[in-house]
Amino acid sequence: MLPKMFDCSVMDGALLRGYEPNIKKITHSFAIPCETNSYIDYISIEHAIVPVVKYHIFDRFENLIHGCSTRQGGVSKSHLASMNLSSSRGDDILCVKENYRRFGEALSFDPNRLVCSDQVHSTNIYIATEEDAGRGTTEKEKLKEIDGIVTNVKNLPIMTFYADCVPLYFYDPVKEVIAMAHSGWRGTVNNIGGKMIILMQKQYNCNPRDIVCAIGPSICKACYEVSEDVAVAFADAYSPEQYKQMITAKDNNKYQLDLHMACYFNFMNAGICPSNIALPDYCTCCNPNVFFSHRATCGKRGNLGAVIMMRQ
Ligand SMILES: [Zn+2]
């Protein structure tokens, strides 16, 4: 769906290319419970149009805000163009600040209240409270060595960062708890998704049957070649049946790994209903004009942000 307003004066080339209707979608090798999982919402704000990837599975919750940024709709330049949400990748801090302002305005959250992770591919999860509001959009403010954030506080946006790794969204509408987790291959094989579900049960008395999850835009199986040590780690972590479904061995002693399926199994193994799991439609690496992709750019890239928040 194209936006009605089209202000070319604030758009860069990447953004204009983003309006091509042929953004490549992922074809999953396993059955998808939801027919259409995600969509790109082109949100008009003053001076810009900000595309945000959202999930239909969360649309019915009126008090819930969620979404993953694209690389479009911001003000950063060159390889960081244009919606870079990292202040540690050489960007002008004023550009990063303006990008946060735009993303916050598009989704109606206050960027000054953000709780953000400084990720290290761990399974460390932080329980955020009201006192954490504002930790924060700069490297100094972020939660150190944290890959998952959970909270039951309203009006407290929590955000994790991406450029191929997998964003995991969690929402329990019964106990009113939200969470985000950064699940790269290490986080996935060490089951940060399942550990988050267990923590939600212990901390907030959540029932897994109530929890709704989404797997955010990230690298697809066709783009994700891994070495043997990674494949062995997955073989050790999953049942032979599950392993067979997520990994394909190749002639060159390499493997193609389906992180989406692995994350799906982490949710399933933790007791989440299949109909409460939304899969991603967009691969970051297949669409490097739309998303930041570490693989597609050999690391010369900015950061996407995935956010979730309950309104007051
Ligand atoms: Zn891909």
Domain 11-310 sits in which CATH superfamily? CNF1/YfiH-like putative cysteine hydrolases (3.60.140.10)
CA of 25 to the centre of ligand 1 (A): 8
CA of 164 to the centre of ligand 1 (A): 9
Task: Please report the pLDDT score of residue 261 as a whole number.
Answer: 96
CA of 137 to the centre of ligand 1 (A): 29
Scan for tokens 């106990």, then name that residue. Answer: 175
Task: Please report the pLDDT score of residue 13 as a whole number.
Answer: 40
CA of 101 to the centre of ligand 1 (A): 29
What residue segments make up the domains of the chain, in order of their start? Answer: 11-310
pLDDT by residue (tens digit) across 228-237?
999 999 999 9
CA of 37 to the centre of ligand 1 (A): 17
CA of 285 to the centre of ligand 1 (A): 5
Q: End-to-end CA distance of the chain, in Å?
A: 30
CA of 284 to the centre of ligand 1 (A): 6
Task: Please report the pLDDT score of residue 47 as a whole number.
Answer: 85
Residue burial 8-42, b: 16+ Cβ < 10 Å; e: rest: eeebbebbeebeeeebebbebeeeeebeebbebeb
pLDDT by residue (tens digit) across 248-286?
999 999 999 999 999 999 999 999 999 999 999 999 999
CA of 24 to the centre of ligand 1 (A): 8
CA of 144 to the centre of ligand 1 (A): 30
Closest by CA position to 66, among listed 93, 25, 20, 106? 106
CA of 248 to the centre of ligand 1 (A): 15
CA of 272 to the centre of ligand 1 (A): 26
CA of 223 to the centre of ligand 1 (A): 4
Task: Please report the pLDDT score of residue 114 as a whole number.
Answer: 98
One digit per residue, the tens of pLDDT, for the chain of length 312 reads: 333 333 333 444 444 444 545 688 898 877 655 556 899 999 999 889 999 999 999 999 999 999 999 999 999 999 999 999 999 999 999 999 999 999 999 999 999 999 999 999 999 999 999 999 999 888 889 999 999 999 999 999 999 999 999 999 999 999 999 999 999 999 999 999 999 999 999 999 999 999 999 999 999 999 999 999 999 999 999 999 999 999 999 999 999 999 999 999 999 999 999 999 999 999 999 999 999 999 999 999 999 999 999 999
CA of 118 to the centre of ligand 1 (A): 25
The whole-angstrom separation of Cα 181 and Cα 193 is 7
CA of 198 to the centre of ligand 1 (A): 31
CA of 135 to the centre of ligand 1 (A): 32
CA of 294 to the centre of ligand 1 (A): 12
What does each C-alpha distance from 51 to 2, 139, 247 come to in angstroms?
10, 25, 32
Closest by CA position to 225, among listed 256, 184, 249? 256
CA of 293 to the centre of ligand 1 (A): 10
The DSSP string of the chain is ---S---GGG--HHHHHTT-S-PPBP--SS--SSS--EEEEEEEETTEEEEEEEEGGGTT-TTEEEEEE-S-SS---GGG-S----SSSS--HHHHHHHHHHHHHHHT--GGG-EEEE--S---EEE--GGGTT--SSTTTSEET--EEEE--TT--EEEEESSSEEEEEEETTTTEEEEEEE-HHHHHTTHHHHHHHHHHHHH---GGG-EEEE-S---GGG-EE-HHHHHHHHHHS-HHHHHHHEEE-TTS-EEE-HHHHHHHHHHHTT--GGGEEPP-B-TTT-TTTS--TTTTTT----EEEEEEE--
CA of 224 to the centre of ligand 1 (A): 7
The whole-angstrom separation of Cα 216 and Cα 39 is 11
Task: Please report the pLDDT score of residue 139 as a whole number.
Answer: 85
CA of 283 to the centre of ligand 1 (A): 5
Residues whose Cβ atom is located within 5 A of ion ligand 1: 220, 223, 283, 285-286
Structure tokens of 227?
A: 């070495």
Task: Please report the pLDDT score of residue 12 as a whole number.
Answer: 45
CA of 225 to the centre of ligand 1 (A): 11
CA of 130 to the centre of ligand 1 (A): 38
